[in-house]
């Protein structure tokens, strides 16, 4: 039996256990502690732009606190990219606010700036109010057209919460994803660019924002010797143990990025020119994706087989692949939410497949994936 090739497994670099051990040795087995401070500093220097990073228990928690900091309240509308993982949109509902979904454009697969503007104007016309925040996503690591998004957002004075959960190490015009919006979000879940076994971060522009995020993340405790509370808080801070893993992972972040980009290049080299297959690529040099996941779209008429046909063949050969994200406006849980779309994300969901992309993949693994795809093409295309 062949060993299974997985979509996106975490890789340990060897420095993680030392930081965790130190936490044990110094009795810092708690939320907060030196590893949390150290991990935040590491991320700040990696991202640049003089940002303040707050380490949290998950990317979802970071999105939740981000919306809170931007003043989102029950009854408000928040615009969210429809083509994404549910975690981008769920925190809108946590706050009792209402998601409004906007489709993607075909170049980056992320929020369409023209549709965003149309949505903003239509919400104002229909409800008398502007949406309270905008959540664009750098899906699969590909930078969103943030220049255009920020321009539209500033025209209507709406803050932007940038979901960079999949985009640690991606840059747009040389600037790190996560630092492009008013606030940014990272995830360190097991399948992301680096792992803390589960964790996330909120990227802030000011120290005051970061302090506020930490306040809400630790049960909103007021200044007093006893426990005094004047606001609802959360238990969202990252633990010192998890942050130790994160500090260790920072040693291999650049390696992980280079490896995922190299895997993407291999898929591109081997699969370009095959009828009906298209490996997702960046629209220009300015969009420097970490290629968290390499994605493929399959035009069944040209290819002679569908996305699902290929997925099942790969699976039978012990290779995990996965359909692209199902758009939020098609999810039962968000039925009835307003949506502004032109069919782009629906088509991507129908035609697209994520290929194994983790840094643990060997060249031989990638070859096995490519060979399986090429053999399947040969059968259907008679070449
Ligand atoms: C993973 C992910 C999140 C959530 O991060 P968690 O750390 O798993 O809570 C949010 N948005 C996107 C686009 C993601 O891929």
Q: Are residues 210 and 200 in the same domain?
A: yes
The answer to whether residues 42 and 168 touch, using CB atoms and an 8 Å cutoff, is no
Q: Are residues 178 and 199 in the same domain?
A: yes
Residues 212 and 286 in one domain: no
If asked whether residues 365 and 299 sit together in one domain, one would say yes
Structure tokens that stand for 356 in this block: 């194994």
Domain boundary among 252, 275, 305: 252
Taking the C-alpha atoms of residue 155 and residue 49, their distance in angstroms, rounded to an integer, is 23
Q: Which of 109, 105, 72 is nearest to 91 (CA)?
A: 72
87 close to ligand 1 (CB < 6 Angstrom): yes
Q: How many CA atoms lie within 13 A of 94 on its CB side?
A: 16
Residue whose CA is at the smallest distance from ligand 1 atom 2: 165
Ligand 1: distance of its center to the CA of 127 in Å? Answer: 30
114 membership: H or E segment, kind and range:
helix 113-127
Residues in CB range of 348: below 8 A, 6 or more apart: 83, 104, 109, 297, 324
Mutate to test the pocket of ligand 1, among 10, 57, 60 (most ligand atoms within 8 A of CB): 60
H or E element that contains 339: strand 339-340
C-alpha–C-alpha distance, residues 167 and 203, integer Å: 13
| Calpha distance 89→79 (Å, rounded) | 9
H/E element, 355: strand 352-355
Q: Is residue 9 part of a domain?
A: no
Q: Does residue 39 lie within any of the structural domains?
A: yes
Mark whether 246 and 263 lie in a shared domain.
no
Give the pLDDT of the chain (383 residues) as one tens digit per residue: 789 999 998 889 889 999 999 988 888 877 778 999 999 999 999 999 999 999 999 999 999 999 999 999 999 999 999 999 999 999 999 999 999 999 999 999 999 999 999 999 999 999 999 999 999 999 999 999 999 999 999 999 999 999 999 999 999 999 999 999 999 999 999 899 999 999 999 999 999 999 999 999 999 999 999 999 999 999 999 999 999 999 999 999 999 999 999 999 999 999 999 999 999 999 999 999 999 999 999 999 999 999 999 999 999 999 999 999 999 999 999 999 999 999 999 999 999 999 999 999 999 999 999 999 999 999 998 75
Q: Do the domain assignments include residue 211?
A: yes
Are 222 and 184 members of one domain?
yes
Tokens 């008429």: give the residue: 301
Phi, psi torsion values for 144, nearest 5 degrees: -70, 160
Q: Are residues 243 and 325 in the same domain?
A: no
Is 4 within the bounds of a domain? Answer: no
- From the CA of 139, give the closest atom in ligand 1: 13
Residue with tokens 């693994």: 365
- Rounded (5°) CA angle 230-235-239: 140
Dihedral over Cα of 363, 281, 82, 88: its sign: positive
Q: How far is the centre of ligand 1, averaged over its atoms, from the C-alpha of 203 (Å)?
A: 14
Query: For residue 184, what is the domain's CATH number?
Result: 3.40.640.10
**Same structural domain for residues 260 and 193?**
no
Which residue, among 258, 361, 351, 267, has the nearest Cα to 308 in the 3D structure?
Answer: 351
- Ligand 1 mutation pick, 57, 80, 85, 109, max ligand atoms within 8 A of CB: 85
Ligand 1 atom at shortest distance from the alpha carbon of 192 = 1
What residues make up the domain containing 376?
A: 253-381
HSE-CB of 93 using CA atoms within 13 angstroms: 9
In this structure, the number of other CB atoms found within 10 A of the CB of residue 381 comes to: 14
Q: Which atom of ligand 1 is nearest to the CA of 137?
A: 13
- How far does residue 112's CA lie from ligand 1's centre (Å)? 21
Query: Does 258 reside within a domain?
Result: yes
**How many whole angstroms from its chain centre is CA 289?**
12
Number of domains forming the structure of the chain: 2
CA angle 289–293–295, rounded 5-degree value: 95
Region for residue 234 given its phi and psi (left: phi exceeds 0; alpha: psi -120 to 50; beta: otherwise): beta
pLDDT reported for residue 383: 58
In short, whether 81's Cβ falls inside 6 Å of ligand 1 is no
Closest to 57 in 3D by CA, of 197, 208, 219, 193: 197
**Model pTM score:** 0.96
Domain annotation covers residue 221: yes
Residue 163: CB within 6 Å of ligand 1? yes
One domain, residues 229 and 259? no
Domain boundary pick from 202, 223, 252: 252
- Do 178 and 283 sit in the same domain of this protein? no
CATH of the domain at 331: 3.90.1150.10
The CA-atom distances, in angstroms, between 28 and each of 16, 35, 158, 195, 243 are 15, 9, 40, 20, 11
283 by DSSP, 3-state: which?
coil
314 lines ligand 1 (CB under 6 A): no
Measured from the Cα of 61, ligand 1's closest atom is: 9
Do 308 and 370 share a structural domain? yes
Q: How far is the CA of 350 from the centre of ligand 1 (A)?
A: 22
**CA 88 – ligand 1 centroid, Å:** 7
- By most ligand atoms within 8 Å of CB, the mutation choice from 10, 57, 67, 87 for ligand 1 is 87
Ligand 1 pocket, residue 85 CB under 6 Å: yes
What is the model's pLDDT at position 112?
A: 98
Q: Are residues 135 and 27 in the same domain?
A: yes
Domain boundary, last residue among 234, 252, 270: 252
Polymer length of the chain: 383
């Amino acid at each position: 039996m062949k060993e299974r090739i997985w979509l996106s497994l975490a890789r340990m670099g060897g420095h993680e256990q030392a930081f965790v051990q130190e936490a044990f040795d110094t009795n810092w087995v708690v939320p907060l502690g030196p590893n949390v401070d150290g991990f935040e500093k590491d991320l700040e220097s990696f991202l640049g732009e003089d940002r303040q990073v707050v380490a949290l228990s998950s990317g979802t928690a970071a999105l939740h606190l981000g919306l809170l900091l931007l003043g989102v309240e029950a009854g408000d509308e928040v615009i969210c990219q429809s083509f994404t993982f549910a975690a981008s949109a769920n925190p809108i509902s946590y706050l009792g606010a209402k998601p409004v979904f906007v489709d993607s454009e075909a170049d980056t697969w992320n929020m369409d700036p023209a549709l965003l503007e149309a949505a903003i104007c239509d919400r104002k016309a229909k409800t008398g109010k502007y949406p309270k925040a905008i959540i664009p996503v750098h899906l699969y690591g590909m930078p969103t057209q943030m220049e255009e998004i920020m321009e539209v957002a500033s025209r209507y004075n709406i803050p932007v919460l940038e979901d960079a959960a999949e985009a640690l190490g991606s840059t747009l015009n040389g600037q790190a994803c996560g630092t492009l919006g008013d606030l940014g979000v990272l995830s360190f879940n097991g399948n992301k660019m680096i792992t803390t076994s589960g964790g996330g971060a909120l990227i802030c522009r000011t120290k005051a924002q970061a302090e506020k995020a930490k306040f809400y993340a630790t049960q909103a405790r007021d200044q007093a010797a006893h426990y005094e509370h004047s606001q609802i808080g959360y238990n969202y801070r990252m633990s010192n143990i998890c942050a130790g893993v994160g500090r260790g992972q920072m040693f291999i972040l650049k390696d992980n990025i280079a490896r995922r980009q190299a895997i993407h290049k291999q898929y591109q080299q081997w699969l370009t020119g095959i009828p009906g297959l298209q490996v997702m690529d960046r629209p220009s040099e300015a969009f420097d994706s970490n290629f968290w996941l390499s994605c493929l779209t399959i035009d069944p008429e040209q290819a002679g087989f569908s996305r699902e046909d290929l997925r099942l063949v790969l699976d039978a050969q012990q290779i995990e692949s996965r359909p692209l994200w199902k758009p939020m406006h098609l999810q039962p849980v968000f039925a009835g939410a307003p949506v502004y779309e032109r069919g782009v994300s629906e088509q991507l969901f129908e035609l697209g497949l994520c290929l194994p992309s983790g840094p643990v993949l060997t060249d031989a693994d990638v070859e096995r994936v490519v060979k399986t795809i090429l053999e399947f093409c040969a059968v259907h295309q008679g070449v």
